[in-house]
Amino acid sequence: MQIVITTKQIVAVLKVVAWVLFFALAVDAGGIVVNTLITVFLNEQGVQNFWSGKEYLTRLHQFDPGHFAAIAIAMSIVAVLKAILFYLIVKIFSKDIVSMQTPFSEPLRQILILLSYVALGIAMFSQGGADYSRWLSTQGAGEVDISVLRFGGADVWFFMAVVLFAVVYVVKRGIEIQSEHDLTI
């Protein structure tokens, strides 16, 4: 007995995975943004509501609320950019931007460009947040675990952005070849 998995089935599974990841990242981003706003503007005890890094963020808030706000805003930006990244991936699948008849299209190129810029933004804010957190550790704010604050992996996000920029170039060339082929028929 042979199990055959079709492209259509793989795309269906990828749609579901993209939706689940988008939803999880959107909830996470919303939690970070709301907790940041509550802590900075309404109630200083809101720092206890952060899902991860609560101990460090509490110490940081006691050390200096301004530095806490900077780190929390950087965490919010990274979380929101990750959610946006998966929204764009969901958009690729849900709008049927990728067609098997014409795999290279201008809408696909535009979304890939957006994906690469969002990945680059995640890399920059992750690296900036990590560097700032390490600097704060040297200033007496306490030891920090970068991965708990979700600033880890900036190099991976940068690599992803570079790869996506290369893919955009390939898609652009594919669009040119595809349009030349359409003209010759």
Count of C-beta atoms within a 10 Å radius of residue 85: 22
- Residue 150: band (very low, low, confident or very high) from pLDDT cuts 50, 70, 90: confident
Higher pLDDT, 6 or 170: 170
Q: What is the mean pLDDT of residues 177-181?
A: 75
What residue spans define the domains of the chain?
Answer: 7-184
Question: What percentage of the chain has pLDDT greater than the value 70?
Answer: 87
Compute the mean pLDDT over every residue in the chain, rounded to the nearest whole number: 83
pLDDT at 145: 74
Higher pLDDT, 40 or 116: 116
pLDDT at 84: 95
Calculate the CA 110 to chain-centre distance: 17
Residue 156 CA to residue 169 CA, distance in Å, equals 20
Calculate the CA 166 to chain-centre distance: 19
pTM: 0.85
pLDDT at 126: 93
pLDDT (tens digit per residue) in 96-128: 676 666 677 788 888 999 999 999 999 999 999
Between the alpha carbon of residue 107 and those of residues 83, 89, 111, 118, 181, the distances in Å are: 20, 13, 6, 16, 19
